[in-house]
């Protein structure tokens, strides 16, 4: 039988080292939050049985189709620095916003553009009997999703500054030309 020269303290240190090393594989398997963490890792927001989806391009198109005051609220929030943005919403506008953001984005995209406005108006009727507390909570969650969206967009813009040209097609860099022969040689 071979005697071990490893002490109990060394065994404990080895156990702690192995424990720390096991965390590395777990941490490496998770994606880094990066600049889009708020928008994509946080994902949808839940209000009771309703899922409020993160802001997608189809949401902008749907809001434009119904001429929602939410678009003016968002644009005034972006333009005003430090001031609170305001917009007038009537109950119909709130129900439409609730319907747009609780409907699966694929269903909105698959709706033909010509009937999208009517689809939203009809779908918003499902929120007529929903208590006001839920409507308010859903609208608040929509505004939170827009806040996340705007913060992520701002962070991405800041990352791009200095890395890409401002113009769509950058001007070609001048190519080195031959030096003219000197007259004295």
Per-residue pLDDT of the chain (185 residues; tens, 9 = 90+): 556 677 888 888 888 777 777 666 666 555 554 444 444 456 788 888 899 998 899 998 999 999 888 888 877 777 766 566 677 788 999 999 999 999 999 999 999 999 999 999 999 999 999 999 999 999 989 988 888 888 888 888 777 776 655 655 666 666 666 665 655 55
What residues make up the domain containing 67?
A: 33-158
Q: Where are the beta strands (DSSP E) in the chain?
A: 45-47, 50-52
Residue 26 domain-assigned (yes or no)? no
Residue 95 domain-assigned (yes or no)? yes
Residue 40 domain-assigned (yes or no)? yes
Residue 14 domain-assigned (yes or no)? no
- Note the pLDDT of residue 12: 84
What are the residues whose beta carbons fall under 8 Å from the beta carbon of 23, sequence distance 6 or more? Answer: none
- Note the pLDDT of residue 13: 82
Residue 130 domain-assigned (yes or no)? yes
> What residues are paired with 47 via a beta bridge?
50
- Note the pLDDT of residue 9: 81
- Note the pLDDT of residue 150: 83
Residue 50 domain-assigned (yes or no)? yes
Q: Count the domains in the chain.
A: 1
On whether the pTM is more than 0.75, the answer is no
Q: What CA–CA distance (Å, rounded) separates 115 from 120?
A: 9
- Note the pLDDT of residue 134: 92
């Amino acid at each position: 039988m071979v005697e071990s020269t490893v002490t109990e303290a060394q065994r404990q240190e080895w156990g702690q080292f192995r424990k720390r090393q096991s965390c590395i594989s777990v941490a490496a398997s998770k994606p880094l939050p990066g600049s889009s963490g708020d928008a994509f890792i946080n994902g949808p927001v839940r209000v009771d049985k309703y899922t409020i989806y993160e802001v997608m391009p189809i949401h902008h198109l749907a809001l434009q189709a119904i001429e929602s005051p939410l678009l003016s609220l968002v644009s005034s929030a972006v333009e005003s620095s430090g001031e609170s943005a305001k917009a007038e919403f009537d109950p119909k506008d709130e129900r439409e916003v609730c319907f747009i953001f609780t409907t699966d984005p694929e269903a909105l995209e698959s709706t033909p553009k010509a009937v999208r406005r009517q689809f939203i108006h009809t779908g918003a009727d499902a929120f007529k009997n929903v208590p006001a507390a839920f409507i308010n909570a859903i609208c608040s969650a929509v505004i939170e999703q827009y806040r996340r969206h705007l913060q992520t967009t701002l962070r991405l813009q800041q990352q791009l500054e200095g890395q890409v040209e401002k113009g769509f097609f950058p001007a070609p860099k001048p190519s080195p030309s031959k030096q003219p022969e000197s007259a004295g040689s």
